[in-house]
Amino acid sequence: MEKVKEKINIYRDKNLDLNLKKNYMKAMNDENFKTLVNKFKINEDTIIKNTSKFLKSCNNLKNCKGCRSIATCKNELAGYVYYPCINKNNLLTFKYLACKHKKKILKEDNEVKNVFTFNEPIEIKRAKMKDIFVDDKNRYPVIKYLKKFIDNYEKKEVKGLFLHGNFGCGKTYMISACLNEMSKKNINSAIVYWPEFLRTIKSSFNKPKELSNFDTLFDKVCDVEILLIDDIGAEDTTPWSRDEILGTILQSRMQNKLVTFMTSNLNIEELEDHLSITRENVDRVKARRIIERIKYMMEDIELISESRRK
């Protein structure tokens, strides 16, 4: 019985070797395959055993030709190429290597490592001053302010900006580009999408203390050198979110002379109305207290421009 099993295994091994050899011979008719394997000083047996992996590499490289961005990447792992390598022990291995588009993104991400973002889209993390559209004169006051801010930040005390205007006009992108520029000077900043930040803070109360990230997040927005509170006014106002969270953050930052930016679809008067009305009651005194802090800490600029969300 053992001899029968041994013969079967020998037959299977020979059959497997034969199939590998056939696949290799067929693959060698492909110029791309031949070019790739010829780049490496490895014996034929090793190539035969790894034919399918080399073919996968060839297919990945083929997909990369003419590819314009990661958004159009056809490879199974977007932004990466399955590619053969020789390791330090002189053995053949295959790795996923970043393509030119992915390398650019990784480099850009590293350049803005001093910017903490909370629930913001990837384009915000990579916003650049040079990419801000200048085809609308309504944008000029904002661009002028941001450039002045960048130039004067380390020279003298400066104010943040309360930037309000219509949906999709680029408010968040423009300020984020400014903060990304500041990160090159090793200035730490944070960008938080306010409605989601409040939801996360609230949900952390239901977790055990050792699993809650409340203290970390709250301290971050209170203490970071520059803060952008994005889309304030889009949240549901409660006495807790207004007085204990927003009020405390602004008070702390005001006392420590830390720069704060805000974006909103509401102007300052509309924001005051929004902050005054909760499900429980209307409290204009406490809303006014928040607004006075905003006016003290920030310049007020309106941006009405074409929506860029297309």
Q: pLDDT tens across 103-139, in order?
A: 887 676 655 556 777 767 777 888 889 889 888 899 9
Q: Measure the CA–CA gap between 273 and 219, rounded to whole angstroms.
A: 28
Q: pLDDT tens across 47-80, in order?
A: 999 999 999 999 999 999 989 888 889 998 888 8
Architecture of the domain whose range is 112-303? 3-Layer(aba) Sandwich (3.40)
Residues 6+ apart with CB under 8 A from 2: none
Instruction: Quote the pTM value.
Output: 0.64
Q: pLDDT tens across 11-60, in order?
A: 455 565 778 889 999 999 999 999 999 998 888 999 999 999 999 999 99
Q: pLDDT tens across 284-309, in order?
A: 999 999 999 999 999 999 999 887 66
Phi-psi region of 170 (alpha: psi -120 to 50; beta: other; left: phi over 0): left
Q: Measure the CA–CA gap between 114 and 53, rounded to whole angstroms.
A: 39
Q: Is 280 exposed, middle or buried (0-12, 13-18, 19+ CB in 10 A)?
A: exposed
Residues 6+ apart with CB under 8 A from 270: 233
User: Where does the pLDDT of residue 7 fall: very low under 50, low under 70, confident under 90, or very high at 90 and above?
Assistant: very low
Residue 196: both structure tokens together = 């989601």
SS3 of residue 210 by DSSP:
coil
190 beta partners: 116, 227
Over the range 142-176, which residues count as b (16 or more CB within 10 Å of their CB) and which as e?
A: bbebbeebbeebeeeebebbbbbbeeebbbbbbbb
Residue 287: both structure tokens together = 């809303």
Q: pLDDT tens across 136-194, in order?
A: 899 999 999 999 999 999 888 899 999 999 998 999 999 999 999 998 888 889 999 99
**Nearest alpha carbon to residue 75 among 51, 99, 91, 53:** 99
98 beta partners: 80
96 beta partners: 82
Task: List where CATH 3.40.50.300 sits in the chain.
Answer: 112-303
